[in-house]
Amino acid sequence: MGNQKIRLTVDAVVFGYEDGIISVLLIKRKYEPYKGKWAIPGGFILENESLKKAVERELQEETGIKISYLEQLYTFGKPDRDPRGRIVSIAYFGLVRPNVFSISASTDAEEVQWFNIDDLPKLSFDHKEILNVATQRLRGKITYEPIGFELLDKKFPFSDLEKLYTTLLGRKIDRRNFRKKIISLNVLDELEEKISKGSGRPANLFKFNQERYFHLKEKGIIFEI
């Protein structure tokens, strides 16, 4: 027991959503192992650092972005997951709007880039598995918690909310039922303003009520879609 040599890392799966497209933030590794290959941002935890501080620091150092909320996802610890030795990774995930960030690679990253989730390069280590678990968690989470409103414009037509959920779930939704459920949550304020899209009649704009929204989020209310 005394000579155990297990090291800890953190990894950050950052999903982006913009106009019906989900993307993932990846870095190109500057050093071995997997030099020149794409990976999820992350790195070793410093001796006197909390997990949260470590993942925030690694993300900022390697990609240049700072995210206020990352949720702990899962611990990955297969003995052969890292060629450098016995390394356990605590993975986190978050969901953001890519266009509000300016990305820049530094420290262990040679490049940083957003990739469409349907067109990803080959990933290093067990990062494909980490990404799959994060995707499943995200899709599960949005069926029981009203997440994602922050990804829309401050004022939006209801069709944008439908598109967001259809994209994040990766499947079609019953539009009438979805509308009924969202309206019943009482997190949206319907505005007098309208917007015209295509040849259809103008649609009312909505905005989400932050106070009621975060109250619901804390309760983790279930509204299965």
What's the CA gap between 216 and 90, in Å, rounded?
28
Strand order in the sheet with 188-195: 156-157, 203-208, 188-195
Residue 190: active-site member: no
Whose tokens are 């989730």? That residue is 117
- Residues 122 and 40 sit within 8 Å (Cβ to Cβ): no
Half-sphere exposure for 202 (CA within 13 Å, toward CB): 9
- Active-site residue (options: 111, 129, 145, 162): 111
Residues identified as active-site:
111
